[in-house]
Structure 1
Amino acid sequence: MIDHKSRTLLQPPEVASFFVCVAILSLFVALAAFWQQSVAWGELAFRTGAALGIGGFGLLYRKLDRNEGIALVLIGTGLFVGFTNSTIFLNYLFLPVSRPIVDPFLIRVDAFFGYHWKSFVVALADYPEFGRALAWVYHTSVVQMFGLIVILAFSQNHLQLYRFIVAGMAAGLMTVGIWVLFPSFGPAAYQTIPAGVSEKINLVVTNDYGREILRLADEGSAIISFSHTLGLIALPSFHTVMAALAVWFSRGLIIFYPVMALNILMIPAILSHGGHHLVDVFGGIIISIVALVITLKLLPEPGANQVVQAS
């Protein structure tokens, strides 16, 4: 239940999201201690404190009955930052990988559909301006997430904002869970791109990037630190998840068509600059749908339960 006019300092979705962040962080700390993994605890403490501080300012704005839009922006951002920080660190705890890497199978699946990552990137280099534009598109994902938090908050669309946060958390947890069971790093870790091609399009996931990921898969990380984190997960593509959620939650807003156009371009950007399998994108779409279904069950429209009972 969300009571927009309530004087309650924290709404139930905010409380639940906060405790999800706390649970993930607690799990990370416990496993890191048990597995004797070295961690840049100072960095983690600083970032966790920053997330708490941002959210705390939001609560202060609400307590003082100031601008509720600003309060929602700060609380939503604090939750987003806290969840992202703890999940990235948790993901790194599962290095080196102990399960068979599924990339060879995924490459065969791609080949069945006629897709080959290196060939796609090399072909893209024939259109260098477009290739460089896709690199820019690829880097907009996180900006889009924060932008939607701001827009939904200032429109004071509480329900949609909470759904957006919950869907992102659900998708993030499922993504990490699937990767832990079926680790994959993408074709960029196995297929070498000519240096000239990479330079033409400012390729994000380069040969060096791929080699470092495989090293981490084999050796693990000597110390888990934000300054040395890379995007590990290929399947499902979380960039695809972010694109899908951005489009879904921008419906009805003035930004919908620009967001849709941007995220149509995000698909070739993910495949090329993200170094992803084709099947990773489909996996990201499926995860997005499942996360949205879960979210709509957890946060239904006001009065939906009463309508069902009355019928």
Structure 2
Amino acid sequence: MSSIGIEKRTASSGIRGLTLDPVRIRAALGRWFMFSDYGAAAQRHMAIVWSCVLGYVLVDVIWLQGSRLEFAPSNWIVLLQGVACTALAGLFIAVASARLAGDDRRSAVLLRRVLLLTELLWRAVLPIGGLLVAGALLTYLITAANLPAKDDVLADIDHLLGFDWPGFLQATNASPLVVKLLVRAYNALGLISELVLISMVLRRRGDRIAEFLAVLSLSTVAVCIGMALVPAAGAFAHFHPAPHLFANFSATREMWPFYRSFVALRDGTLSVFDLAALDGIVSFPSFHTMLGVMTAYAARDTRWLLIPVLAVNGTMILATMPVGGHHLCDVLAGAALTIGAILLVRRQNTATPIQAQQALPAGA
């Protein structure tokens, strides 16, 4: 969709979009939930995304009723703040766009484009927030169920594949330079993901954002299923490596901090899900690996970004074993499941140009 078409659509939404006309309200909601623009394939992708979010919420509500885990009351304040900020952002963008509509001065055109980019970024962050909260709660519920761990099975498969986890830990720990490189790459995952998302926003690739969100949604579903079928504490908990095997790693960061929350959830000493103290507790499959694969895929048509993303994410995936304490099986499963999610989503990219054009707003 061209930037001119998008600007026309935003300008026409203006103050009229603030009335209580049901048609305009539906149009505004459709735009903010990314159903009304960027083509038919993007609409199907977002249907996957919001279906996953709603599915998570439904499972969470039902599971919480019989779980020893509680939803912290303070979480409602956080959620209400998020809803309020989103509503205020939408209101501000609508009012500002209306005031700038029809103004051909260079400054006004620039401000309209900034508003468009801000809106697109906000629209992308909204479902990510939903997936984070609802998905993370489900991972806590699964862990609190205290299902029998299967690290011995994963370690046996690694052995059959010829991989020696303690030996790999010792080998990487031997070089302080390698340790620093792996730790920094492991910690860079959030930054890399944000850069890839921002690059898609700056290029106004709402279609690619919808595709990325669909892959992310399906991958998180795969994570929860994997956690339920193959509960695991991680390679570090299985092998109990001697301190000297990871001395250089532990000198640069706290090793495997998620393990405390993992154990506390399983033995019941942690019984409250608090967004202010959220820990990533996924062992199988490796979610770091999954994000590494999907962000590289999302950056595939931007060479200046793809090359550094591949370099950092490739190093990060290696780091998931010594730094993240994952089995090799965790990494392989994470990569395979994400590739599967990508292939499923790509099947949605079958809309013809005519279909995509029909899916665009009338003002485009």
Q: By the TM > 0.5 criterion, same fold?
A: yes
CA contact (8 A) 1:189 1:214 kept: no
Using the alignment, how far apart are the partners of 1:239 and 1:121 within structure 2? 18
Is the contact made by 1:37 and 1:223 (CA closer than 8 Å) also made in structure 2? yes
Cα deviation digits, residues 15-48 of structure 1 (max 9, x gap): 6334543442343233213435322131x22342
Query: Which residue of 150, 155, 162 maps to 1:114?
Result: 162
1:309 alignment counterpart:
none
1:174-189 matches, within 5 Å, as 174-189=222-237
1:159 paired with 2:207, answer yes
Is 1:70 the counterpart of 2:141 in the alignment? Answer: no
TM-score (norm. length: structure 1): 0.85
Which of 249, 269, 282 does residue 298 from structure 2 map onto?
249
2:333 maps to which residue? 283
Unaligned runs of at least 5 residues, structure 1: 307-311
How many angstroms does 1:113 deviate by? Answer: 1.7
Q: Give the match for residue 268 of structure 1.
A: 318
Q: In the TM superposition, what is the alpha-carbon distance from 1:129 to its structure 2 partner?
A: 2.0
- Pick aligned residue for 1:125 from 163, 167, 173: 173
- Secondary structure of 2:71's aligned partner: coil
- TM-superposed deviation, 1:50: 4.4
In structure 2, what is the equivalent of residue 258 of structure 1?
308
| Equivalent residue, structure 1, for 2:53 | 21
State how far apart, in whole Å, the 2-side matches of 1:112 and 1:59 are: 54
Indicate if the aligned counterparts of 1:56 and 1:75 stay in contact, CA closer than 8 A.
Answer: no
CA RMSD of aligned residues (A): 2.9
1:147 offset after TM fit, Å? 2.0
Cα shift at 1:162: 0.7
* Partner SS, residue 190 of structure 1: helix
- Are 2:270 and 1:238 equivalent residues in the alignment? no
Q: Given the two structures, how large is their TM-score scaled by the length of structure 2?
A: 0.74
Structure 1 pair 284–96 and aligned structure 2 pair: CA distance change class (3 A): same
Gaps of 5+ in 2: 11-26, 36-42, 98-111, 357-364
Is residue 134 of structure 2 the alignment partner of residue 102 of structure 1?
Answer: no
After TM superposition, list the pairs within 5 Å mapping 1:3-18 onto structure 2. 5=6, 8-9=27-28, 10=31, 11-12=34-35, 13=43, 16=47, 17-18=49-50
One-letter amino acid of the counterpart of residue 295, structure 2: A
d(CA) in 1 for partners of 2:256 and 2:81? Answer: 34
**CA-to-partner distance for each residue in 1:186-243, whole Å, 9 max, x for gaps?**
1111222333443412476737754653453344732222354433222211111100
In structure 1, C-alpha distance between the alignment counterparts of 2:283 and 2:256, rounded to whole Å: 15
Alpha-carbon distance in 1 for matches of 2:86, 2:51: 13
1:142, distance to aligned residue in structure 2 (A): 2.1
Q: Answer yes or no: is the 8 Å Cα contact 1:125–1:131 preserved in 2.
A: yes
Displacement, 1:61?
Answer: 5.8
SS of residue paired to 1:94: helix
Instruction: Pick which of 167-176 and 66-75 moved more.
Output: 66-75
Alpha-carbon distance, 1:252 to partner: 1.6
Distance change (3 Å), C-alpha of 1:198 and 1:212: farther
Of 49, 53, 56, the match for 2:80: 49
* Higher RCO (CA 8 Å, separation ≥ 6 residues): 2
Equivalent position of 2:218 in the other structure = 170
Q: 1: CA distance between counterparts of 2:120 and 2:58? A: 25
Does the CA contact (< 8 Å) of 1:193 and 1:206 recur in 2? no
Structure 2 residue aligned with 1:37: 69
Q: Is the 8 A contact 1:188 1:210 kept in 2?
A: no
Contact 1:110 1:116 in 2 (8 A): yes
Percent identity over paired residues: 18
> In the TM superposition, what is the alpha-carbon distance from 1:105 to its structure 2 partner?
0.5
Query: Which region of structure 1 is more displaced relative to structure 2, 94-103 or 114-123?
Result: 94-103
Residues 185 and 234 of structure 1 are in contact (CA less than 8 Å); yes or no, is this contact kept in structure 2? yes
Aligned 8 A contact 1:51 1:79 in 2:
no
